[in-house]
Amino acid sequence: MGAGRDIAVIGGGPAGLMAAEIAASGGAAVTVYDAMPSLGRKFLMAGRGGLNLTHSEARDPFLRRYGEIPDALRAAVAAFPPEALRGWAEGLGEETFVGSSGRVFPRSWKASPLLRVWLRRLDSLGVSIALRHRWAGWGEEGALLFETPEGRKAALAPAATVLALGGASWPRLGADGGWTAIFEAAGIPVAPLRPSNVALAVDWSDIFRQRFAGEPLKRIAARCGGETRRGEAVVTGTGIEGGVVYALSGPVRAALDRDGEAILTLDLRPDLTGPALAAALSKPRGKQSVSTWLRKAAGLSPVAIGLLREAGDVPREPEDLSRRIKNLPIRVLGTAGLARAISSAGGVPFAEIDADFMLRRRPGLFLAGEMLDWDAPTGGYLLQASFATGAAAGRGSLRWVDSRS
């Protein structure tokens, strides 16, 4: 790596831009390189239906959303927690609020206003932007190689480099996982990138698919592999998707890898205990149709009743029916691919980086965001970790250049 205090940040998503802001605020000369014609494309897409920045829940349950969280990721979130992220947004003039689900949003709701003012701040800090620069690896003496519309270019070797190239979900927005081949050729381990927060494939019957594709399942619970989540889902023509499903991506993937299929168990009435539901189902049905009776006695929607029938003959005894409603098995055959996933799991193992997020095998190179091997559900956890690891890599790169200047 070169001398001086110049830092290259490759990747213009939340992790890369946060690293750039931290480094530039510390006095470094920062250039952000991105393969796309504009910055933050996936960030803008994520905020299209409302930018969920982070979550308001307490620290311990918040961290549990990341599973067996690596020490470096835990430290990064501790150093830049949800409160700090909200304070940062409000420092840009984007006041935040907590929604009814505990999720945190900017008052403007969308990502575009926040991104615009953020880019103005970076400009005021002297950050340079180089668009349509696709990173192609390293040249002689550590020079950064880029593919551009004018052909291959080599940048001067910076004092430090932060890579924040993302995973491989939504590849048309820039994060296509192409960096993995460069890393593997350089002998840097990479865990395979896998779809996460993704729709699940289910072989519905034709009649169920035709009638219920697009119908929501509200206020349900789902479990797989010993983990349970509450939320909502949507039946699709090819399976099921939605927040409660995305939150179980990890255990579903593990079951698919192990058994070739996974069982997703739904509780269609998680607000009622089994005995209470059985008692409600013990009332005389009279002349009501089964569907009308289930709707009135059990509070089930038409799509929930359809799922009961999809699972086999509807039990007649109240206790048996209650158990079916609260333990409805759905056979999952696979997931949608990376191109349709919200995020990706896999990446560079945390054992490969130090406490400053520097790659042990290549001093002066720092990693942030979804390039690293962590996973999280939607609900603000993805963006929180991206911002936090970007801040950690930015601080680490500053310490590195200062120690060598």
pLDDT score for 262? 96
* Burial (CB count <10 Å: 0-12, 13-18, 19+), residue 181: exposed
What is the span of the domain harbouring residue 123? 6-195+345-404
Q: In CATH, what number is assigned to the domain containing residue 97?
A: 3.50.50.60
Domain boundary among 316, 335, 354: 335
Flag whether 211 is in a domain: yes
Flag whether 11 is in a domain: yes
Flag whether 289 is in a domain: yes
Distance CA 355, CA 42 (A): 27
For residue 185, count other CB atoms closer than 10 A to its CB: 9
119/165 same-domain check? yes
- Structural domains of the chain, count: 2
218/351 same-domain check? no
Q: What is the pTM of this model?
A: 0.92
24/156 same-domain check? yes
pLDDT score for 2? 43
229/317 same-domain check? yes
- Which residue reads 């192609």 in tokens? 136
pLDDT score for 1? 41
For residue 100, count other CB atoms closer than 10 A to its CB: 5
Per residue of the chain (405 residues), give pLDDT as tens.
445 789 999 999 999 999 999 999 999 999 999 999 999 999 998 877 789 999 999 999 999 999 889 999 999 999 999 999 999 999 999 999 999 889 999 999 999 999 999 999 999 999 999 999 999 999 988 899 999 999 998 888 899 999 999 999 988 988 999 999 999 999 999 999 999 999 999 999 999 999 999 999 999 999 999 999 999 999 999 999 999 999 999 999 999 999 999 999 999 999 999 999 999 999 888 888 989 999 999 999 999 999 999 999 999 899 999 999 999 999 999 999 998 899 999 999 999 999 999 999 999 999 999 999 999 999 999 999 999 999 999 999 999 999 987
Query: String of b and e for 3-25 (b: at least 16 CB within 10 Å)?
Result: eebbbbbbbbbbbbbbbbbbbbe
Flag whether 91 is in a domain: yes
Flag whether 1 is in a domain: no
pLDDT score for 292? 93
pLDDT score for 31? 97
Flag whether 181 is in a domain: yes
225/110 same-domain check? no
Flag whether 328 is in a domain: yes
322/253 same-domain check? yes
239/284 same-domain check? yes
Structure tokens at 277: 């539901």
256/362 same-domain check? no
Flag whether 340 is in a domain: no
Q: Name every residue whose Cβ is closer than 8 Å to that of residue 197 and which is 6 or more positions away in sequence.
A: 246, 249, 341, 342, 343, 377, 378, 382
73/126 same-domain check? yes
Domain boundary among 312, 335, 358: 335
Domain boundary among 285, 300, 335: 335
48/160 same-domain check? yes
288/322 same-domain check? yes
